[in-house]
Amino acid sequence: MKIDILTLFPDMFTNFLTESIIKRAIEKEKVKILIHNIRDYTLDPHNRVDDYPFGGGDGMVLMPEPIFRAVEAVRDDDSYVILMTPQGKKYNQKEAYSLSHKKHIIIICGHYEGFDERIRSIVDSEISIGDYILTGGELAAMVVTDSITRLIDGVIAEGSHQNDSFNDNLLDYPVYTKPQDFRGMKVPDVLLSGHHENINKWRHEKQVERTLARRPDLLEKR
């Protein structure tokens, strides 16, 4: 899997790529993540990447030229192009699974007040990570990249994501570790019983209980 990220703020990705699971996935060559500065693709003599909107209005608009040229420089026959925008389809775990099977993903981070509408003509999908406005698509691109990378075979132990919240539209069950009694709060007896059937039953009940209390909308999807 290869992910090319097009951004005006490449430095924002430095820590993201050099810490924890993402760092290890890159080292193990499970994923290749390349960051490209959109500004490197402008033909403007002053390196401008944005301009005023036709028709007037506040804010600057990202021009199509540098984005088109950047995408053309990195795309091949297997590329899937994603635009990060609050106007996109709301992202979820199902989409993360589907993207984790792609060979090559190109993510365009929108910025400033907006981007020229013609950029939409070269993207396969538009993704929003939630109903709120970020200053740019960079954090959203990291969210999507992170959620995809952990699902790639061999990045984390298989069982670790089989029980994830949202698989089967159920939230995760509660988990405990040592000590058995922490400031009077005890680990439920069933988890110490060694009886696997009862443990699985308890966990499933807790998943349903928790989903019903916190995210009844998920149960309706089941």
Taking each helix axis from N to C terminus, what angle separates 138-149 and 20-27, rounded to the nearest 10 degrees? 60
Report d(CA 6, CA 106) in Å as an integer. Answer: 7
Q: Taking contact as CB under 6 A, which single stretch among the options 2-10, 23-31, 122-130, 177-185 is the one that binds ligand ADE?
A: 122-130
Is position 64 annotated as part of the catalytic site? no
Min CB(129)–ligand ADE separation in Å: 4
Min CB(71)–ligand ADE separation in Å: 17
Closest by CA to 140, choosing from 109, 163, 118, is: 109
Q: Taking contact as CB under 6 A, which single stretch among the options 72-80, 82-90, 94-102, 166-174 is the one that binds ligand ADE?
A: 82-90
Indicate which single residue of 13, 62, 66, 85 sits in contact with ligand ADE (rule: CB under 6 A).
Answer: 85
Is position 78 annotated as part of the catalytic site? no
CB atoms within 10 A of CB 156: 16
Query: What residues between 129 and 168 interact with ligand ADE by CB under 6 A?
Result: 129-130, 132-134, 137, 140
Nearer CB in complex with ligand ADE: 112/172: 112
Closest by CA to 154, choosing from 25, 26, 34, is: 25
Nearer CB in complex with ligand ADE: 66/110: 110
Min CB(45)–ligand ADE separation in Å: 29
Report d(CA 3, CA 171) in Å as an integer. Answer: 29
Distances (CA, A) of 86 to 78, 140, 166, 172, 189: 26, 9, 22, 27, 45
The residue whose two tokens read 């909308």 is 217
Nearer CB in complex with ligand ADE: 58/181: 58
Nearer CB in complex with ligand ADE: 96/140: 140
CA 1 to chain centre: 15
Pick the catalytic residue from 10, 64, 86, 174.
86
Residue 131 identity (one-letter amino acid): D
> Which residues are part of the catalytic machinery?
86, 113, 150, 164
- Residues at the site binding ligand ADE, with contacts judged by CB under 6 A: 84-86, 110, 128-130, 132-134, 137, 140
